[in-house]
Structure 1
Amino acid sequence: MQPKFVPVILAGGKGERFWPLSRKQRPKQFLCLDGSGESLIQATANRLVPIVGGWEDIWVITSKLLETGVQEQLPSLPVANLLAEPEGRDTAAAVAWASLEIAKRYGEEVTIGFFPADAWIGDAAAFAKTIAAAVELAEHTGAIVTLGITPTFPSTGYGYIQQGIASGRYNDLETYRVDRFTEKPDSATAESFIASGDYTWNSGIFIFTAKIAIDELKLHAPELMQLLIEKGVDIYPTLPKISIDYALMEKTKLTHVIPADFGWDDLGDWNAIERLLKGDNVNVELANHVCIDTTGSVMYASNPDEVVVTIGLEDVVVVRDGDVTLIVSKHRTQEIKQIVNKIKEDRALDRLL
């Protein structure tokens, strides 16, 4: 019996905004950031395994550099289900290649779901219920289904989905046509989106049949698909570098959204750790931290024997990992990626990456 649903974990990201903890061989998805004892990719896989009844039909696509690391992180993953990209070409190429390979094995009628490896989800049962609704919608209507996260604040760091007319009810969840996608709006626009009640955050999770994925990518990303189909994976380094949002989701007329509320965070930078773990505490302390008059801050040290001492600090992130110490204002954590790029320019500092 062919499976009804095949989940694919997108695990090729670099997680540079979590530097210096996230590095080339140990990117964000391999880290445990919420105190659970599971890495992010392990938690993602362990949420999906019960939905499909085992590891046999879980897939992962990652970079060649991280292939061994994924196998170490997920020892139960079948080797044949691990796709290693010769070179990262963003998510459109990853989705296209995985869809073609899965269609070869299972046929084009199988439903595929794509899931970022590095998102935090709080309610596994609500997550599974939402996935079941999305699979049903995709199978019954030929929709490209995305999950929209009910926003809790006017974030300028997330993409937004505007929901249009209602399109049905599946597994007791309302579904809607998508009117438009908006990437990372300014503060005023984000506030207007929240006030309207018509917008959700883009989770980066989407579900469709293999046939719909292949046909729509042929229509909206013909160069990408033609190269992959005619030349195979050897042509990968020459593929257009474009995200699936730009290549497909913003162009297709088939998108539907299911507003979801299962406790979600994309863990985009160190501030996400505060959102998850602060509670009523003055600081988030993932370190042996001794302080005077330090508030609203995040402290992390990978070596529990090292002590972080602070005096008179407010709203900062301090990260100590190996031979690097990072100190940054919480309001400027998005600029960590710029520092990583600057370090890349100095070959003498390559060991820090």
Structure 2
Amino acid sequence: MRPKFVPVILAGGKGERFWPLSRKHRPKQFLCLDGSGESLIQATANRLVPIVGGWEDIWVITSKLLESGVSEQLPSLPAANILAEPEGRDTAAAVAWASLEVAKRYGDDVVIGFFPADAWIGDAGAFAKTIGSAIALADDRGAIVTLGITPTFPSIGYGYIQQGAASGEYGFLKTYQVDRFTEKPDLATAKNFIASGDYTWNSGIFIFTAKTAIDELKLYAPELMQLLIAKGVDIYPTLPKISIDYALMEKTQLTHVIPADFGWDDLGDWNAIERLLKGDNINVELANHVCIDTTGSVLYASNPDEVVVTIGLEDVVVVRDGDVTLIVSKERTQEIKQVLGKIKADRELDRLL
């Protein structure tokens, strides 16, 4: 009999590299970016509902600012299953608080899965089978299970997981102990990782029992856990701001990885839209676009009545949304965050955030 499983969707991110489409009250996870008609958070939840058999065991952790937006996006989600952080303190705090709350309701033996709200997954069936294997491994071995994505190119924007000794086979999927995590290597290192055959991309999906999570966080993030257990959510703004990767995953000895292949992209910036939608086209056109000699570009306009005209451009992203037009080289989309820093410092422009 499979153990009780509770998925928690991590939905507190800002999606700043998708600005100006992604903004404070309409972050990336609320957007439809792949042409499916579903927002990213809706697609994430709809993949998980069949695995658990209904909405009553789906949870979401998000920011207080986005709580009402989550309810609008997911009207079938019970209000009691939304955890609203008073202030974002990165993923370690989110995982710790959610694990404590889920354990209160279901007990320490429940298996919890954490899923980013903004990932694209192509094969829902293969995804569900992989989650089943991860649940079995977490329950059987007391393991902290992460899903590693088979790399298709030497990305310098993803984290990598080095798989070590084989640890078993669950649901016909082989599992391995984790030797190490490496965050965003340079290009030469990424090429070496892929050539070795021992590395997968870090999907940001983690599965473990509530007991394992709480015990390991008490061991490796004691300040965080002591404050949460003693004071509850009221202490949230004072919690250490650190990711779950640094706080726990890189320190624990219990991590196992399941190399998976179900079609995945973390949709980190506008270049991800090109990976998903370009196909054989010379551009990705999500706008009424009139062009002369423009190639390798992504064009987006939120208003279908507006026309984007380009002449002689190559490898650029053009985004028109409301009162903002963004034009950026595809090679420099990571620098959008720097622009937002300048806008935040200008009171006359902060309405654009």
Give the TM interval when normalised to the shorter protein. Answer: over 0.9
Q: 1:127 corresponds to which letter in structure 2?
A: F
Q: 1:308 corresponds to which letter in structure 2?
A: V
Q: Which residue of 1 is the match for residue 145 of structure 2?
A: 145
Q: 2:44 corresponds to which letter in structure 1?
A: T
Q: Which residue of 2 is the match for residue 81 of structure 1?
A: 81
Output the CA distance in 1 between the equivalents of 2:155 and 2:328: 20
Matched position secondary structure for 1:290: strand
Q: 1:170 corresponds to which letter in structure 2?
A: Y
What does the per-residue CA deviation read over 1:61-101, in whole Å, with 9 as the maximum and x for residues that have no partner?
00000000000000000000000000000000000000000
Q: Which residue of 2 is the match for residue 133 of structure 1?
A: 133
Long gaps (5+) in structure 2? none
1:302 aligns with 2:302: yes
Q: Which residue of 2 is the match for residue 4 of structure 1?
A: 4
Question: After superposition, where does 1:42-191 map in structure 2 within 5 Å?
Answer: 42-191=42-191
Q: Which residue of 2 is the match for residue 219 of structure 1?
A: 219
Matched position secondary structure for 1:56: helix
What does the per-residue CA deviation read over 1:185-233, in whole Å, with 9 as the maximum and x for residues that have no partner?
0011000000000000000000000000000000000000000000110
Output the CA distance in 2 between the equivalents of 1:248 and 1:238: 19
Output the CA distance in 2 between the equivalents of 1:19 and 1:3: 41
Output the CA distance in 2 between the equivalents of 1:340 and 1:260: 35
Q: 1:337 corresponds to which letter in structure 2?
A: K
Q: TM-score, normalization: structure 2?
A: 0.99
Matched position secondary structure for 2:91: helix
Q: 2:94 corresponds to which letter in structure 1?
A: A
CA shift at 1:40, angstroms?
0.1
Contact 2:2 2:136 in 1 (8 A): no
1:18 aligns with 2:37: no
Output the CA distance in 2 between the equivalents of 1:233 and 1:206: 22
Q: 2:200 corresponds to which letter in structure 1?
A: T
What does the per-residue CA deviation read over 1:289-348, in whole Å, with 9 as the maximum and x for residues that have no partner?
000000000000000000000000000000000000000000000001111111101011
Q: 2:48 corresponds to which letter in structure 1?
A: L
Q: 1:225 corresponds to which letter in structure 2?
A: M
Output the CA distance in 1 between the equivalents of 2:331 and 2:58: 38
Worse-superposed segment, 240-249 or 2-11: 2-11
1:193 aligns with 2:199: no
Output the CA distance in 2 between the equivalents of 1:180 and 1:316: 36
Output the CA distance in 2 between the equivalents of 1:208 and 1:175: 14
CA shift at 1:4, angstroms?
1.0
Q: 1:245 corresponds to which letter in structure 2?
A: D
Contact 1:113 1:206 in 2 (8 A): yes
Matched position secondary structure for 1:347: coil
Q: TM-score, normalization: structure 1?
A: 0.99
CA shift at 1:350, angstroms?
1.1
Q: Which residue of 2 is the match for residue 342 of structure 1?
A: 342
Contact 2:3 2:139 in 1 (8 A): no
Question: After superposition, where does 1:267-306 map in structure 2 within 5 Å?
Answer: 267-306=267-306
Matched position secondary structure for 1:282: coil
CA shift at 1:2, angstroms?
11
CA separation of 1:195/1:65 partners in 2, compared to 1, >3 Å: closer, same or farther?
same
Query: What value does the CA root-mean-square deviation take over the aligned residues?
Result: 1.0
Matched position secondary structure for 2:102: helix
Q: Which residue of 2 is the match for residue 253 of structure 1?
A: 253
How many residue pairs align between the two structures? 353
Long gaps (5+) in structure 1? none
Matched position secondary structure for 1:206: strand
Matched position secondary structure for 1:125: helix
Output the CA distance in 1 between the equivalents of 2:173 and 2:3: 23
Question: After superposition, where does 1:298-337 map in structure 2 within 5 Å?
Answer: 298-337=298-337
Worse-superposed segment, 1-10 or 238-247: 1-10
Q: 2:50 corresponds to which letter in structure 1?
A: P
Contact 1:283 1:297 in 2 (8 A): yes
Runs of 4+ in structure 1 over 6 Å off: none
Q: Which residue of 1 is the match for residue 31 of structure 2?
A: 31
Contact 1:3 1:57 in 2 (8 A): no
Q: Which residue of 1 is the match for residue 208 of structure 2?
A: 208
Percent identity, aligned pairs only, is 89
Output the CA distance in 2 between the equivalents of 1:7 and 1:139: 15
Q: 2:49 corresponds to which letter in structure 1?
A: V
